[in-house]
């Protein structure tokens, strides 16, 4: 068993080591589909454990020898996001278990995000009276772009938010975040990438919050807010030098 524990959570080592056995009866199941998420309380703090589905055989080979596992990426990406000042639940640990020399089971543990609302609520009911949330979301997305973050699963169910001290705050709760950082570029190429990959439900003309991040749902953000999410001048991006400021 491979266990990587955040040094800030050394007190949880014995507990985390037992997760492969205790997981099926741990706390409350909050999501069950391809992967399973369970929420639990330990010494007054709430945590979430994600148990990843056993990969296909070819992927077991890939995750063992050629690329990091999903649990490993979830842990490392969370550390990276937080170091950039982007809110996401604090990563606690990840575990990898092998069978026959190949990765079989993996777990990712994080603190629980206390924000009670998802952007998914905009899939129905209109936006009247909630325009300020969308304005704040557009600004949050622009901030991601300026920091060079390419979110590969920027769907409404992976963005939590709340009102805190008069402001709207957001947290990303998916580990499928980074692609090639240099993919966010100024100019027409960058806008095309952004429409397709970075914020698929904020497209100009047919911007939408919808399941799966594909086109075809009702527009919500509106053209002005959507434009702000990806129309950045070269000096506003961290990648202008890669294209000679063209």
List, for residues 34-76, the tens digit of each pLDDT value.
Answer: 899 999 998 889 999 999 999 999 999 999 999 999 999 999 9
pLDDT tier at 136, thresholds 50, 70, 90: confident
Cα 72 to Cα 57: distance, rounded to the nearest angstrom: 18
> Where is pLDDT greater, at 134 or 189?
134
pLDDT tens column, 164-205? 988 999 998 876 655 433 333 334 333 433 444 334 333 332
Q: Which pLDDT does position 243 carry in this prediction? A: 32
Average pLDDT, the chain: 75
Residues in the chain: 246
> What percent of the chain is modeled with pLDDT above 70?
68
HSE of 167 in the Cβ direction (CA atoms, 13 Å)?
7
pLDDT tier at 8, thresholds 50, 70, 90: very high
**Is 105 a residue whose pLDDT tops 80?**
yes
Q: Which pLDDT does position 119 carry in this prediction? A: 82
């Amino acid at each position: 068993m491979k266990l990587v524990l955040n040094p800030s959570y050394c007190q949880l080592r014995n507990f985390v080591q037992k997760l492969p056995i205790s997981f099926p009866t741990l706390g409350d199941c909050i999501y069950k589909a391809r992967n399973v998420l369970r929420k639990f309380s330990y010494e007054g703090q709430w945590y979430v454990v994600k148990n990843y589905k056993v990969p296909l055989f070819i992927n077991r080979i890939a995750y063992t020898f050629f690329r990091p596992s999903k649990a490993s990426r979830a842990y490392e990406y969370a550390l990276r996001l937080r170091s950039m000042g982007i809110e996401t639940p604090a990563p606690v640990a990840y575990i990898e278990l092998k069978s026959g020399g190949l990765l079989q089971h993996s777990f990712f543990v994080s603190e629980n995000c206390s924000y009670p609302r998802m952007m998914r609520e905009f899939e129905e009911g209109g936006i009247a009276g909630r325009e300020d949330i969308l304005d704040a979301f557009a600004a949050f997305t622009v901030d991601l772009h300026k920091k060079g973050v390419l979110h590969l699963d920027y769907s409404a169910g992976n963005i939590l938010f709340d009102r805190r001290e008069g402001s709207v705050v957001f947290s990303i709760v998916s580990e499928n975040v980074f692609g090639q950082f240099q993919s966010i570029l100024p100019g027409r190429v960058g806008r095309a990438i952004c429409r397709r990959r970075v914020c698929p439900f904020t497209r100009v003309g047919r911007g939408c919050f919808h399941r799966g991040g594909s086109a075809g749902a009702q527009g919500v953000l509106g053209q002005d807010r959507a434009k702000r999410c990806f129309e950045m001048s070269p000096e506003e991006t961290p990648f202008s030098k890669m294209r000679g400021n063209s």
